[in-house]
Chains A and B, each alone.
Chain A
Amino acid sequence: MSNSNLTDADLAKLNDKDKAEIAQFLAHEQQRGRVQSQTHALTSLCWKKCIAPSAPHASSSSSSSTSSSTTSGIRGFFGGSRSTVSNDLDSTEKQCLANCVDRFMDANYATMQHLKTLQNQF
């Protein structure tokens, strides 16, 4: 990328209006990065809950019961390999992911609230 070798002399060419625009843009960009990072953490967490529960054959209450029941026979046949995994999310999985995000945020809030009461107690 030819743009990556900006010098101090280049930076000195910036006028105030462009400096302000850059500051605003970078703040936006930082926020976008934070949202993306949090999304990565949540996806990893919710994937384990909704798509691939850690115990492969354990029946999960919230994960897709339909897809796991149709593939369980094949899975058993191939000794636990998941060769028939669908590349699409079914509606149960989608709903589970959305619930997972919302309940995580609720739990986060509840934790903060409880922390406040604990702080008052001690």
Chain B
Amino acid sequence: MPHNLSRREFLRDMGLFGVGAGVASIAPVSLFGEDWLDKAGLASRPPWVREVDKPTVEIDWDFIYRFDERNTVRRGWNKYVSQEEVDRLGAQQRTIGNQYALEGRPGYSIRDLALYSASGVGATQSFLGPDAQTPEDRGVPRWEGSPEDNAAMVRAALRSFGASTVGFVELDENTEKLIYAIDPDGKKVEFQDVDQPDETEDTRVIPRKARWVIVWTVQMSSEGMTRCPTPLGAATTSLAYARNRAIQGRLQSFLKGIGYMALGEAETNALGIAPAFGVMAGLGELSRLNRLVTPEYGPMVRVFKLVTDLPLAPTKPINAGIMNFCKACKTCAEYCPSGSLSFDSEPSYETRGGWNRGGVKTWYENSPTCRAYWAEVGTNCGICFSVCPFSVKDKALIHKMVKGIVGVTPIFDGALASLSRTTYLGGDADKPQKDTEEWWELDYAELGIDTTVGHKDA
């Protein structure tokens, strides 16, 4: 016979249960303490994302020099293959999508191609930025704040403009080397002892008093990127760049509006080495992709930077176990259709060619073969981004559990990488991970991203 609870017993048990539930609900705050809450006000991050004095990637600063951006394959492809080949592959990349559309290849319909083209439409960008109403124009003094207050202010402004995570790097004799010597358009980038920035026909001048770099990420849709290497995937990348052109202009206008200079990227990938600044600012860690992987969005971001004379409290590099994880996980290299990524377990200082500057112990990629594959698919590929285990959306609890384990110990990295492949990937390496037709029927979120991920006050 089941024992019948008396009313008194029932009330007692329910009371005990209520007290237990109440304690459990406030336990996380008590356990993590005030520090966690204080830090969350600036950058909401879980405890396993640890701030460190040196980045997890080893850097030989004595070897580092200011790089010529035109040595990358973006502008310097013809330094590594003949100009004829560059012209042939370039023409093929621009037109092969049309051929695939005629052949009825999935992901290459006219609507996919049109979306790819349309996603790049947007604002323009420049080194000096748009005109803005300055404090002088308004007849009021310029903004003055502590570096910490300024950092919080810039972060808030950037978030409202559409950026995801924000960090700051102070330029010193080392980090100054991460600014390109020559921009993609061939203009020299020079630090000079002048009062105001300037841009001439062949030079962009950064005043030496502008010692701070604002670094930020713009989140990409992982649902879009899982359709790589088709135009749908490429549209995601293109949209992130287009969104940033507006974000950069707004930030430049804002900083000028409070009385400070704002020197941005004159064009895509200009000014400085984006992943390097992202690592130094603690937005993420360098990875097997030789790109930034963030704790919040994995590699599903584009990284941007801007130089200013507004004093800013620097943010420290982080260790979230990401680079260690890459040593055991070779998913991106296995799925790279052109075999451009390294299979070595350990990173190395050995470069693969002139497109790599060197001085960083990482996994250097074969950029010319990567670029040649773009011509085969008519897009900028992106498969390595889409298959990275850190690219998962952050809704499911399992991701927080796994990231927590990865952040604390590397001993399960191999097993977790294998489990991730089994759970999330499938199909051929050179095909999209998800159906391209299905994308058009999704009840898509704005811009295809979850803007609440990684933020406390979303």
| A and B associate | no
